[in-house]
Amino acid sequence: MAYRSSGAALVTIALITLAGCSSGGGGTQAAAPAGDAPVEVVTSTNVYGSIAQAVGGERVKVASLIDDPAADPHSYESTPADAAKVAGARVVVFNGGGYDDFMPRLVQSGGASPTVIDVAEVSGLVPSAGAAEEHPPGEAAPAEGNAHGHGSFNEHFWYSLPTMQAVASRLAADLGAADPAGAAEYTSNAEAFNSHVADLQTRTQAIGASNPGARVAVTEPVPGYLIQAAGLTDATPPEFTAAVEEDRDPPAAVLQETLALFQGTPVRALVLNQQTQTPTTDQVQQAAQTAGVPVVGVTETLPQGTTDYVSWMGGQIDALAGALNGS
């Protein structure tokens, strides 16, 4: 990813990144906390941190290693302080799929055995070894030497609402194992969270019902699962989104093909990752604005001052709906 910008001119949409949870292979479950000590939870990004807080409530203490909107999880360099936090955690949550590779390394080097929730494993969205791999809508075909270390799948799992529900349920189970006295509370909190996410799913599906198959463009595959769930068509050349995600310039012909999406009968919206700003994405954004095509901004971490996944994702969904419905 390149230089990050908040992009004030954009319409910021809230998207729930709910990550899939899975108990760490080979890791022993943490013992119940002593007395009133909270359960220590460490997550790679504040997206998963917000979900852990929603499920854990006052019985947990959550630390998100990446909570700066300007930080790029793909290239984040962990610190000794991060290692200390992970070493003291009872539950660790990370995205997986090559997105935040610093996290499994911290777990392995920490010397402890926390319960690990790898969202990629929980999601069921990663092709099994040897299986025929298809590209999900909104995901570019992998290039040689993919800098992000993932294959032909979209690793931005927090835009998959069913995955986020699975993560919440897994958190409830794992937190309950670490803190049996709070098991019922964790389960209740997860059920409430998942109910809110179900409402987000309904709102997402309503976008497609009002705009079946509507063509949109994206600058990166980040919102791919959301676009798919909304029943929209990502018209962007896969070579373009792959190049932007890997921080390289797309071929000139591919750039021209992308810019042509805003000519003639243009796409209905441009969904732009606000945390990546390059001359190429600026050029595409300018083409959209010149053509009068709404620009909808999405992010990979919670924006400054936002702590609630449901509100964040809901805002993004509503912004996308507004762009397509002309409101």
The tens digit of pLDDT for each residue in 20-68 reads 333 333 333 344 444 579 999 999 999 999 999 999 999 999 999 999 8
Residues 144 and 52 in one domain: yes
Q: What is the pLDDT of residues 245-286, one digit of tens each?
A: 999 999 999 999 999 999 999 999 999 999 888 999 999 999
136 assigned to some structural domain = yes
Residue 35, Ramachandran bin (φ over 0: left; ψ between -120 and 50: alpha; else beta) = left
pLDDT at 165 over 50: yes
CA 190 to chain centroid, in Å, comes to 19
Residue 86 phi, psi dihedral angles, 5° rounding: -65, -40
6 assigned to some structural domain = no
Residues 63 and 151 in one domain: yes
Residues 107 and 53 in one domain: yes
Q: Which domain holds residue 258?
A: 200-325
Contact 186, 176 (CB under 8 A): yes
How many domains does one find in the chain? 2
Residues 175 and 52 in one domain: yes
pLDDT at 224 over 70: yes
27 assigned to some structural domain = no
- Of 164, 193, 222, the residue that ends a domain is 193
The whole-angstrom separation of Cα 221 and Cα 302 is 17
Q: What is the pLDDT of residues 99-150, one digit of tens each?
A: 999 999 999 998 889 999 999 999 999 987 554 344 444 343 333 333 343 4
Name the nearest CA neighbour of 289 among 7, 83, 66, 57: 7
The whole-angstrom separation of Cα 285 and Cα 303 is 20
CATH of the domain at 242: 3.40.50.1980
Residues 210 and 98 in one domain: no
175 assigned to some structural domain = yes
Structure tokens at 27: 């890791």
Rounded to the nearest integer, the mean pLDDT of the chain is: 86
Amino acid at 282: D
- Of 167, 193, 219, the residue that ends a domain is 193
Q: Which residue has the tokens 């243009």?
A: 266
Position 42 scores a pLDDT of 98
Which span out of 70-79, 137-146, 283-292 was modeled with the highest average pLDDT? 283-292
Residues 62 and 208 in one domain: no
Residues 148 and 46 in one domain: yes
34 assigned to some structural domain = no
Helix (H) or strand (E) holding 182, with range, is none
226 assigned to some structural domain = yes
10 assigned to some structural domain = no
5 assigned to some structural domain = no
Amino acid at 160: S
- Tell me which DSSP letter residue 162 carries: H
Amino acid at 118: D
Helix (H) or strand (E) holding 308, with range, is none
Residues 205 and 235 in one domain: yes
Q: What is the CA radius of gyration of the chain?
A: 20
Residues 160 and 283 in one domain: no
Sign of CA dihedral 101, 103, 104, 109: positive
Residues 44 and 173 in one domain: yes
- Listed in sequence order, the DSSP H helices in 10-132 are 46-56, 80-87, 102-109, 119-123
Report pTM: 0.84
Residues 57 and 125 in one domain: yes
Structure tokens at 152: 């032909």
The whole-angstrom separation of Cα 86 and Cα 92 is 7
- Of 136, 170, 193, the residue that ends a domain is 193
Residues 180 and 291 in one domain: no
